[in-house]
Structure 1
Amino acid sequence: MGIFDRFKSQAKGSKGKDMSDAAERKANEKTGRKYEGQVDDAQQRIEGALGMDRDRPERP
């Protein structure tokens, strides 16, 4: 079972969002936050594709 399968199976609950946030934090940590915007965009696209859309404040 791949990571996206795990997200999909838990998408409706808070655990899926927690996993998504943890993956985003880890990616930002590994890249030294150099690609923070791209990582955030990718997270939003993945969550949207899995039906996990959530309201996010606009970035300045």
Structure 2
Amino acid sequence: MTQKRNRRKQTVSFADRLQQAALAARNAAQLLPAGPEREMMLKKALQAETAAHINELLSAPIMQAAER
């Protein structure tokens, strides 16, 4: 018997979720003292910001025209 996937309708866009994740990670990093945990949170924020930027580039009209 196969397991049914848990599907969820997203109410917030992918770009907005990435920005929220980056902001949350930066806010969490500010609360932490200097050390590996803080660096991990800052890295997570940078990764989310980078992903948002890549998503923005890939969603640009010039990229949409290139797919056709």
Same fold (TM over 0.5): no
Q: Which one has the largest radius of gyration?
A: 2
- TM-score of the aligned structures, taking structure 2 as reference length: 0.38
